[in-house]
Amino acid sequence: LGCGLDTRIFRVDPPPWVDWFDIDYPEVIELRRKLYPSRDHYHLIASSVTEPGWLADVPRNRLAIVVAEGLTPYLPADEGLRLLSRLVSHLA
């Protein structure tokens, strides 16, 4: 969440059965599309993480790991709690 220009997807190089989702503001996702190559099973979602609609693009029926280490300190406490609640409700 709030991936910025992080290159974790390329460093981790997940196996083909893993779907990877990076979420950030539309302008950040546009820049990522210009700078980084596309990959199979790699999904970019252009949205603020505090908007609930982006979760519709993430499968509900699979296990998930959520990485948000650079994001959470910048969220107001109430937004952070709402985000975590939506994630827990949506993900397996």
pLDDT tens-place string over residues 67-90? 988 888 889 999 999 999 999 999
Q: How far is residue 4's CA from residue 76's CA, in Å, rounded to a whole number? A: 19
Q: Which of 70, 24, 31 is nearest to 50 (CA)?
A: 24
Question: From CA 39, how far away is CA 18, in angstroms rounded?
Answer: 12
Residues 45, 57 contacting (CB under 8 angstroms): yes
DSSP 72-89: GGGS-HHHHHHHHHHHHH
Domain that holds residue 42: 8-90
The answer to whether position 1 is within a domain reads: no
Residue 3 belongs to some domain of the structure = no
- pTM passes above 0.85: yes
With respect to residue 2, please indicate whether it lies within any of the assigned structural domains: no
33 falls within a domain = yes
- High-pLDDT (> 90) share of the chain, %: 84
- Nearest-CA neighbor of 68 among 22, 2, 7, 15? 2
Average pLDDT value for the chain: 93
pLDDT digits (tens, 9 = 90+) for 12-48: 999 999 999 999 999 999 999 999 999 999 999 999 9
